[in-house]
Chains A and B, each alone.
Chain A
Amino acid sequence: MSDQVVELNDDLRDVYQEVTNVAMGQAADRLARLLDVFVVLPIPNVNILEASELQMALQAASDNESVSAVCQGFIGKGVAGEALLIFNDSSFNDIAKLMKYRGEIDDAVQLELEMDIASILIGAFLNGLAEQLDMSFSQGHPVVLGQHCDIKDLITANAARWKKVLTLEINYTIQDHNINCDLLLLFSDDSIDRLNEIASYLLE
């Protein structure tokens, strides 16, 4: 099983691209209405990454002190995945303004904002994804990475269990605000087959 090559054919890639587009659009629409802003819609990236590539990406995020990340696990119909939201710390002043927080932005407030934005973006996106694939996800509690643990340790501890990950990557920006964050939906290899199966119904 572990030697099996996980591939993504063009049809499936298109399906994921389309599903991501729609889910992202729905999430953006709701975010725009909640915050009363215009959300710029990017083109999502669908990729199969090697564990080492993902490690490098996360490593880069952890080396860079001005970046913070929140992750949240979700699971449904045998598909387990993790949503990872990576923030640029320079965004927080603008996020605070949007979320109507007043006063100093200390570490506690920054944590609140991260959690809020993560809840909104991840939740709205998962809703859209679940709706299209006709499934529902249970969600764990979000965790701020690197707060009580080193990201490096997380990666090395888990690296042995998976070789490839399907990543749906969306870069959100908000017009007229200095807000930039990256939402990554990660599915490890044992979930990809199941997800492919579910997604292939959409091809028919």
Chain B
Amino acid sequence: MPAETKLDISEFHWMMDMLQTIDVGLVVLNEKYEVDIWNSFMENHSGLEPGYVKGKVLFDMFPEVPREWFCHKIDSVFQLHSRAFTTWEQRPYVFKFKNYRTITGTAEFMYQNITIIPLLSLSGEVDHVCILVYDVTDAATNKAQLEHANKKLEVLSQTDRLTQLYNRGHWEDCLTKEFQRCQRSRLTSSLIMFDIDHFKKVNDTYGHQAGDEVIRVTSKILRDTLRQTDIAGRYGGEEFGVILVDTNAQDAYTFAERLREAIQSITVKYEALEINYTISIGIAEIAAGIQDHTTWLERSDIALYHCKRNGRNCSTVFRPGMEAEGH
């Protein structure tokens, strides 16, 4: 053997040392899934010593490792002589190890990426595979936090601060989507637009703070009245919109009356003030002649103004011809 290819014993020693200390799990398995090599990463995280695990079947020591699934992967490495991978996104961990940072870490366990590589014997056969276990806890938790933050931002960008209802932009998006859905499915949904009667007077008489409280109470009652699928938003200052999914005008009227009566019967208390107020409601269901969501919105508005002209504190369903009235 030429001198340069001969592995010096001391060289071999520090190479082994390197493999032992590297902060990546190294496990060598034979074709019967029995452990041959088990480095310190594996020893320290599992609490099982190499002397104990050597010659034992991996799955007997780690019942939490899904046997069939993992065998399938290992077998493919033996057969194909190519690497196999698992990622934390697919399965958070294979070996249930504790998070390195047990106190300040946010994850309970170690997220792992795993690579299984074929090991060639001197005869060129693959009779062993090596399992590499990477700790990717930080990457995984960062990603999860980022996603969480993005979701929160999304909610914030869609929510009206004062009322906690959808803001106008998002609500209009919902309205467009609902309109398109009805066009496709040929189902009927109804749209309710309502506003607070003489709201300007409330503001002028009691102040804006009191006005805000009236809006807050209104949206609270609205939220309590809503059914699961209804979509409510604050359309303008004192104007609100509700999309009643799969609801015809008649049922929408019942809903509107319930809301109107609830608001009529409530007294808003703000500091020493007691404020009673009412709302007017316009209703339009999706019907022939409505080409887009703006027309739908217009029809509810027309019905709403019909209420205003007829003494307020009532609910009105849009009828064709209503546009011309009162002009």
Contact = CB atoms under 8 A, between A and B. Distances in A.
Interface of A: 30-31, 33-34, 72, 99-100, 108, 111-112, 115-116, 119-120, 123-124, 126-127, 139, 141-144, 147-148
A126 B89 contact: no
B93 to A, nearest CB: 14
A160 B322 CA distance: 57
Interface in B55-89: 69, 72-73, 75-76, 79-87, 89
B18 to A, nearest CB: 18
Given A99-B72, A100-B72, A123 B87 contact: no
A32 B133 CA distance: 29
B72 A119 contact: no
Contacts of B73: 116, 119
Contacts, number: 63
Contact of A34 (B69, B76, B85, B87): B76
B143 A119 contact: no
Given A31-B80, A119-B84, A148-B147, 8 more contacts: A72-B85, A111-B90, A115-B87, A116-B72, A120-B76, A127-B82, A139-B115, A141-B113
A29 B229 CA distance: 53
B23 to A, nearest CB: 17
Q: Which 4 A-B pairs have the closest CB atoms?
A: A123-B82, A30-B80, A119-B84, A127-B82
A119 B76 contact: yes
Given A141-B113, A141-B115, A148-B143, A112 B90 contact: yes
26 contacts: A30-B79, A30-B81, A33-B79, A34-B75, A34-B79, A34-B80, A72-B85, A99-B72, A112-B69, A115-B86, A116-B73, A116-B84, A119-B84, A120-B76, A120-B82, A123-B80, A123-B82, A123-B84, A127-B81, A127-B82, A139-B83, A139-B115, A141-B115, A142-B85, A142-B87, A148-B147
Contacts of B79: 30, 33-34
A123 B91 CA distance: 20
A33 B76 CA distance: 10
B137 to A, nearest CB: 15
A110 to B, nearest CB: 10
Nearest to B116: A119
Kindly name the residue among B72, B76, B84 whose own CB sees the greatest number of chain A CB atoms within 10 A: B76
A124 B86 contact: no
A144 B89 contact: yes
A69 B223 CA distance: 41
A34 B79 CA distance: 7
B80 A141 contact: no
Contacts of A115: 85-87, 90
Contacts of A148: 89, 143, 147
A33 B115 CA distance: 22
Contact of B87 (A31, A99, A141): A141
Contacts of A142: 85, 87
B140 to A, nearest CB: 11
Nearest to B69: A112
B66 to A, nearest CB: 10
B80 A124 contact: yes
A122 to B, nearest CB: 8
B83 A143 contact: no
A91 B217 CA distance: 53
B96 to A, nearest CB: 18
Contacts of B143: 148
Interface in B145-184: 147
B87 A124 contact: no
A54 B71 CA distance: 37
Contacts of A126: 82
Contact of B82 (A124, A144, A147): A124
Contacts of A127: 80-82
A30 B83 CA distance: 13
A118 to B, nearest CB: 8
Interface in B131-146: 143
Contacts of B86: 115
Nearest to A112: B90
A99 B76 CA distance: 11
Contacts of B69: 112
Given A30-B79, A100-B72, A141-B113, A119 B85 contact: yes
A119 B83 contact: yes
Nearest to B68: A100
